[in-house]
Amino acid sequence: MTHYPYDRLVDVREPRLTRAMDEVRRRKEARRSARSAADACRATLDALLAEREHSQHQLLRNDAGRLNTASLARLDLHLDLLATRAGEAAKSLSEANDRLCDAESELTEAQSRYHKLHAKRDALIQHRRQWTKAHRRGVARGEEAAVEDSLQAEPGVLRSAGLPR
pLDDT, tens digit (0-9, with 9 covering 90-100), for 72-114: 788 889 889 999 999 999 999 999 999 999 999 999 999 999 9
Measured distance CA(70)–CA(64) in Å, rounded: 16
Q: Which residue has the higher pLDDT, 65 or 160?
A: 65
N-to-C CA span, the chain: 33
Which pLDDT score is estimated for 64? 47
Does a structural domain hold residue 165? no
Does a structural domain hold residue 2? no
Does a structural domain hold residue 114? yes
Q: Say which CATH number the domain at 60 has.
A: 1.10.287.1700
CA 81-82-84 angle, to 5 degrees, is 65
Measured distance CA(151)–CA(143) in Å, rounded: 12
Of residues 37, 1, 21, the one with CA closest to residue 118: 21
Does a structural domain hold residue 99? yes
Mean pLDDT of the chain: 85
Does a structural domain hold residue 146? yes
Does a structural domain hold residue 1? no
Does a structural domain hold residue 71? yes
Number of folded domains in the chain? 1
- What DSSP state is assigned to residue 67? S
Domain range for residue 137?
7-160
Is the sign of the CA dihedral 18, 24, 29, 33 positive or negative?
A: positive
Does a structural domain hold residue 100? yes
